Chain A
Amino acid sequence: MEVNTVENAPSHLDPSVVPLVEAPAEIARFIRKAYDSHDHGRSFVPRWSGQFLSRIIFENPAFRPDHALGAYIGDRIVGTILAQPCEIWVHRTRIKGAYGSWLAVSPEGARPFVAHMLVNELRERLRAAGAQFIVGVAYRSGAGVGLDFWQAMARAYPSNVIIGPDLAFWARVLDGRALAKATRSPFIRIGAHLTRMQFLRKPKTECVRVYRSSDFGDCDALFRDVPTEVRFAPSDWDLTSAPDAVTGPQTLVFDRGRGPEALVCSYVLPMEDAGPLRVGIVEQFLQSTEVSGAERLLDAALWGMKRAGACLALLPRAAHLSRSRLVLRGFVPYSETFKLVYLPLGDDAPDALAGSFGLPVR
């Protein structure tokens, strides 16, 4: 009897898509290798470490094995797709879904259908579990499963895959010297703005502190009141800081004694394809309309990211963030643009993502 092992498997064997069994560090290594082989080390996308992946995906209390799938030929992994359980507000309705991420296919395992199978299996499993949508971020990468793939998916399956609005960023240089060393990175394009760089000073931290579970009600209200049609609806776990900024998101709040009036969520990731460079992502910066002085919260987050080794901070552009305030704090528009990719799954999901949204970037 012939057994299909990796060595003698027919080259056209359909892979099987099942929950990943590898350890987070191994999954992160596979993803990094797959992306490096497609993008030849020129990818803009910050890479997740095993620690970060573990925190974001596997330690999430809402995680189930359906959120981390692998494509296997025999016992060899040839592809991955990950999803983080999340909820969003659509107008005043809160719906469950997931952030999809790291659709990766290794060149050795590449088949025309591996990426499709991974996407489809994730859709089916999450839909069966009650998820209403999957949302993710795509970037025009060199090959493989970047924005081009998703745009082709959207043309082939226009009601299943929707390319959403642009996702653009503000950038703030935290460490000009470290940034200048990252010559292989697309970040060097920000070099023209270096002359406008403001030195980052240690901020005043009165009224700034780490989020705690008792803040959840106030913070939940801040998210609910964001003036966008679609916005993040975090859980207490989502807002609870990881042990440090490179392990997972950190949440700081601005509290003058009446409970949080503003919050900022951020984390730091390595750009492993771009030399010794770490980039900080400010996922959310929210404040109630009447609060003043909350900018020091953003300053505190930037300072914390710099101390964690980040030389550049990125903040998604959002209509509710004042351009002039950000420019005054040393932010400049960053030229790279991402796209949101949206997969509606259930009846409660909107047909398309609204033009105004406030979602964390992961």
Chain B
Amino acid sequence: MPVTIECQLLDFVRGLKPENQNVQADTDLIATEGLDSFSVLELVSFIAERFSAAPPIGDITANNLRTVTTIVRLIEERWK
């Protein structure tokens, strides 16, 4: 069974720091501080390498990065 984008992103976000172990697809990553300035950039690099997607700098906003679900949607609809 192929590993979904969501699963790969969840694995990546959970691996960013110990506090992210319980992150789910709909966890608010901004309110829970699951992402910081550097991990956002690591996430962008990961998305580019793993999914051949290119999130523009202007798309790095709280609304776009709020949950893994929103990120998956953007990868599929806009960034690929």
- Report yes or no: A112 in contact with B40, Cβ–Cβ below 8 A: yes
In Å, the complex CA distance between A279 and B62 comes to: 40
The residues in A between 100 and 147 inclusive whose CB is less than 8 angstroms from any CB of B are: 110-113, 115-117, 119-120, 123-124, 144-145
CB contact under 8 A between A155 and B30, given known A111-B62, A112-B39, A113-B65: no
B-chain residues with CB within 8 Å of residue A124 when the two chains form the complex: 58
Q: B19 interface residue, CB < 8 Å from A?
A: no
Q: B53 interface residue, CB < 8 Å from A?
A: no
A-chain residues with CB within 8 Å of residue B31 when the two chains form the complex: 11-12
Size bracket of the B interface: 20 to 34
- Report yes or no: A156 in contact with B48, Cβ–Cβ below 8 A: yes
B-chain residues with CB within 8 Å of residue A115 when the two chains form the complex: 37
- Report yes or no: B30 in contact with A12, Cβ–Cβ below 8 A: yes
CB contact under 8 A between A14 and B61, given known A115-B37, A156-B45: yes
- Of the candidates A112, A156, A160, which one forms a contact with B36 in the assembled complex, judged by CB atoms under 8 Å apart? A112
B-chain residues with CB within 8 Å of residue A148 when the two chains form the complex: 38
Size bracket of the A interface: 20 to 34
In Å, the complex CA distance between A155 and B63 comes to: 23
B-chain residues with CB within 8 Å of residue A116 when the two chains form the complex: 37, 40, 57, 60
The residues in A between 66 and 117 inclusive whose CB is less than 8 angstroms from any CB of B are: 110-113, 115-117
A-chain residues with CB within 8 Å of residue B44 when the two chains form the complex: 156-157
Q: A192 interface residue, CB < 8 Å from B?
A: no
B5-35 vs A: 1/0 string, CB under 8 Å? 0000000000000000000000010110001
- Report yes or no: A112 in contact with B57, Cβ–Cβ below 8 A: no
In Å, the complex CA distance between A107 and B66 comes to: 20
* Min distance, Cβ A217 to any Cβ of chain B, angstroms: 41
- Of the candidates B28, B36, B58, which one forms a contact with A12 in the assembled complex, judged by CB atoms under 8 Å apart? B28
Residues of A within 8 A of B (CB): 11-14, 110-113, 115-117, 119-120, 123-124, 144-145, 148-149, 152-153, 155-157, 160
